[in-house]
Amino acid sequence: MNFASKLVQKVKDRFGQHKLKHYTDKLNEIGRHNLETWDDERLKAASLKLKNKARDGASLDELLVEAFALAGEAASRVLGMRPFDVQYMAGTALHEGNLVEMQTGEGKTLAAVMPAYLNALQGKGVHILTFNDYLAGRDAQWMGPVYRFLGLTVGFVRDGMTTEERQQAYAADITYVTAKEAGFDYLRDSIAMSQNDIVHRPFHYAIVDEADSLLIDEARVPLVIAGEVASTGTDGSRMASLAKELVLGEDYDFDENKRNVFLTEEGAEKAERILRSGNLYENHNSHLLTALNCALHAESLLKRDVDYMIRDGKLELIDLYTGRVAENRHWPDGLQAAVEAKEGMQTKSSGKILGTITLQHLLSLYPKISGMTATAQESAEEFEETYSLNVVEIPPNRPRVRVDYESRIFTHKEAKLKALVNEIAEVHATKRPVLIGTSSVEESDLLASELKKAGVACHVLNAKNDEKEAEIIANAGELGAVTVSTNMAGRGVDIRLGGGHPEQADAVAKLGGLYVIGTHMNESARIDNQLRGRAGRQGDPGSSRFYVCLEDELINRFGIEKAIPAAYRTKKQDEPLEASIFHKKMEHIQRVVMGQNFEMRKTLNKYSDMVEEQRRIQHEQREAVLANKESLSSTERHVKLYHMDRSWSDHLAYVAYIREGIHLESLANRNPVDEFHHRIIHAFEQLPDKIEKETAKTLSKLSSSGGGSKDNIDWEKEGLKGPSRTWTYLIQDQFMEKKANIFGL
């Protein structure tokens, strides 16, 4: 460490200690409540009293010390876990609306119980947003006894639950649920025709687990509710075959980052000839151009078994971050259809989008949020800027002794793979457990088959099932285990040394603990660290090392010519590159890419923020109509809701259409964001008028057919029933990110 960075570290440490002092002060106050001598009944009575105080309006800050002491005592009695000091500190920081960084395995699940209990005392519900459905169930069952001991109720939500089950879960004081499920429920509520169908209460407070994943990586994912309405579209198979006819490098090309494709002049001419469309760049052809771009994108940039796979005749997307099948996910309409066409699949009617909200906007509906994760520091600026969340670093309960070795950098992929297999085989011979994090399902399978050739048996994790995955990951610390896993699979699951066999723990510790190997550098140091953090939990021994090569995707995308001296670009050697310049370059590339991604997300927010504002206005007006039984008859209410929903859905289709085509504007030197805003504001302004007119028209039609005043109208017969069936999915919108990047928005 040079002098300057030492100085920075010193200042940081002092600042960190200063910030922590507030939490240690609270800790001391909590410690003064010695409740160990109290019997159960006395604790329960104290909890009830606290609840009454909170409901009478006492400030939660005043109740914090007593509430935390009670929750801590309850946890030690019913779970046998007495919270560590650092867990009380983390809990305090969570209550105060911060983003808490606490290492993997330090016990964030229990730390969250204290602020959840405190905030639930007000009786308005607390959501703990978990990383997946499996963890929602696990944590609710695991921590449930503590809340119940203290007289509160707890519930969890899982995919597949009925409306009644959901209503019950959300009525509980504390609800464990994924943000996705909570969001889908919010969307279903937003098209409910009767208040009896609503499952949510108004949002109150959310604690986001694995917060960086949700608040940064997944934040921009739009949740969608769609309904069965026949949809039309351009002929996908025709575009798919045209895309196959066009030649990469001649007729179309990638942008320099390989994130998007564009037609060359020759390509456009050729396409115009084949399509007999005339100038593709004229406005009336924009749907053709968009469809062709989608087809080219699908043809050349989306790879089967890397970006998606086909299983049981269904197109399934692979999640970039987990490397796993992302269930229930679509690309934006046009691209989804293009990939289906490319694979010769029957394009399914995708239905009509009835409502949509991004996870980021969903979270902004909570008056108060806080988050926790093992990796926050690297993205502190983004948390602050996007969510006004400050990162608070909680020190580990026991000092971390994990050793993070310097990466090994190879010239080419074969050399890297060979070195990986050798290293794993060598370490495995000692029976030390090894966990390998790869970038894709394809890479996992390749590595596993090479390992098999070398006589090393391993578990490969690309399962679809979170529960099964949790089981395998939990055993990754067993003597002799070799586990190959994509990126962040199994996040949230504890890896104990010795796995399920406590008697092995010592032997594994003597071998050096868990050895974590990364097979590539991720787009963000934060995700690298997430993987490293799998080793060395709670002061265990452990180590980590990354294997990278100059042919890796990240370097490729950044542009190798910008990063690597010419002499090395084509060089192939089996030994790793020694020069320290390469390590610096790698860090630089990662920093630049991370910064680019942050910028891109900011730009894209400019698109979605405006739509969100419109959504809120629409939602508010709809709620008023739904609740306002004093001034509208039930017929009038139904008809008005029907038209509100329809016009909103039409509006969303228009927004999507504009959004997919808007990049064309930038070619004409207009600012696409301004143009987008201009058009959708104009369209939104027309809605109230349209709704009023349509409603009046329908009502007069109903009354002239004699049904207007009665309340037993057959809505289906009148063609005024909402969609017959609805379903929900997520949109993989890296497509938009790619697009934004190429046009330098």
Q: Is 572 annotated as a binding residue?
A: no
Instruction: Tell me if 715 sits within 8 A of 638, measured CB to CB.
Output: yes
Judge contact between 204 and 193, C-beta under 8 A. no
H/E stretch holding 271 reads helix 265-275
Strand order in the sheet with 99-101: 154-156, 174-178, 126-130, 205-209, 368-373, 99-101, 391-393
Is 212 near ligand ADP (CB under 6 A)? no
Nearer CB in complex with ligand ADP: 102/600: 102
Binding segment for Mg ion among 107-115, 321-329, 675-683, 731-739 (CB under 5 A)?
Answer: 107-115
Please report whether residue 89 would count as binding ligand ADP according to CB under 6 A.
no
Q: How far is the CB of 106 from ligand ADP (least distance, A)?
A: 4
Q: How far apart, in Å, do the first and last CA atoms of the chain sit?
A: 38
Q: Please report, as a single letter, which amino acid is at residue 79.
A: L
Say which entry of ligand ADP, Mg ion, none residue 476 contacts (CB below 5 to 8 A, set by partner kind). Answer: none
- 371 part of the interface to Mg ion, by CB under 5 A: no
Which range binds ligand ADP by CB under 6 A, 78-86, 348-356, 511-519, 630-638?
78-86
Query: Applying CB under 6 A, does 82 fall inside the site for ligand ADP?
Result: yes
Q: Where are the alpha helices (DSSP H) in 80-152?
A: 85-95, 108-120, 133-149
Q: What is the DSSP string of 675-737?
A: HHHHHHHHHHHHHHHHHHHHHHHHHHHHHHTT-TT-S---HHHHT----S-EEEEEE-THHHH
Would you say 115 or 492 has its CB closer to Mg ion? 492
Determine if 81 is a binding residue for ligand ADP (CB under 6 A).
yes
106 is in an annotated binding site: yes
Q: Rounded distance, CA 521 to CA 555, Å?
A: 9
Binding mask 473-492 for Mg ion (x = CB under 5 A): -------------------x
Work out what residue 84 binds among ligand ADP, Mg ion, none; the CB cut-off runs from 5 to 8 Å by kind.
Answer: ligand ADP
- Closest CB to ligand ADP among residues 98, 356: 98
Specify the long-range contacts of residues 281-290, CB closer than 8 Å, at least 24 apart.
281/664, 281/667, 286/661, 286/664, 287/234, 287/661, 288/234, 289/661, 289/664, 290/334, 290/660, 290/661
Q: Show the tokens assigned to 620.
A: 């508010």
Q: How many residues bind ligand ADP (CB under 6 A)?
A: 14
CA-to-CA distance for 536 and 495, rounded, in angstroms? 9
| Closest to ligand ADP by CB, 82 or 569 | 82
Residue 486, marked binder: no
200 in Cβ contact with 338 (< 8 Å):
no
Residues 106 to 145: which contact ligand ADP by CB under 6 A?
106-110
Question: In sequence order, which ranges of 33-97 are alpha helices (DSSP H)?
Answer: 40-55, 60-79, 85-95
Residue 104 interacting with ligand ADP (CB under 6 A): yes
599-625: b (≥16 Cβ within 10 Å) or e: ebbebbbebbebbbebbeebbebbeeb
Task: Count CB neighbours of 171 within 10 A.
Answer: 14
Residue carrying the six token digits 């969903």: 362
615 binds, among Mg ion, ligand ADP, none (CB under 5 to 8 A by kind): none
Stretch that binds ligand ADP, among 76-84, 274-282, 299-307, 634-642 (CB under 6 A): 76-84
In angstroms, how far is CA 667 from the centroid of its own chain?
32
Task: Find which of ligand ADP, Mg ion, none residue 83 binds, CB within 5 to 8 Å per kind.
Answer: ligand ADP
> Cα torsion at 158, 181, 338, 257 (round to 10°)?
-110
Return the range that interacts with ligand ADP (CB under 6 A); candidates 102-110, 165-173, 326-334, 714-722.
102-110
Considering only the stretches 105-113, 404-412, 508-516, 698-706, report the one whose residues sit in contact with ligand ADP under the rule CB under 6 A: 105-113
Q: Is 87 annotated as a binding residue?
A: yes
Residue 144 or 355: the one with the smaller Cβ distance to Mg ion is 144
Site membership for ligand ADP, residue 83 (CB under 6 A): yes
* Residue choice 26, 51, 95, 108 for contact with Mg ion (CB under 5 A): 108
Q: Binding string to ligand ADP for residues 488 to 527, with x set by CB under 6 A, is what?
A: ------x---------------------------------
Q: Is 664 left (phi over 0), alpha (psi -120 to 50) or beta?
A: alpha
- Using CB under 5 A as the binding rule, the residues of this chain from 518 to 537 that contact Mg ion are none
The yes or no reply on residue 404 touching ligand ADP (CB under 6 A) is no
In angstroms, the CA 488 to CA 306 distance is 16
Residue 25 marked as a ligand binder: no
Q: Which does 371 bind (CB under 5 to 8 A by kind): ligand ADP, Mg ion, none?
A: none
Binding residues: 87, 105-109, 494
Q: In the complex, which residues of this chain contact ligand ADP (CB under 6 A)?
A: 81-84, 87, 102, 104-110, 494
Q: In the complex, which residues of this chain contact Mg ion (CB under 5 A)?
A: 108, 492
Binding residues for ATP: 87, 105-109, 494
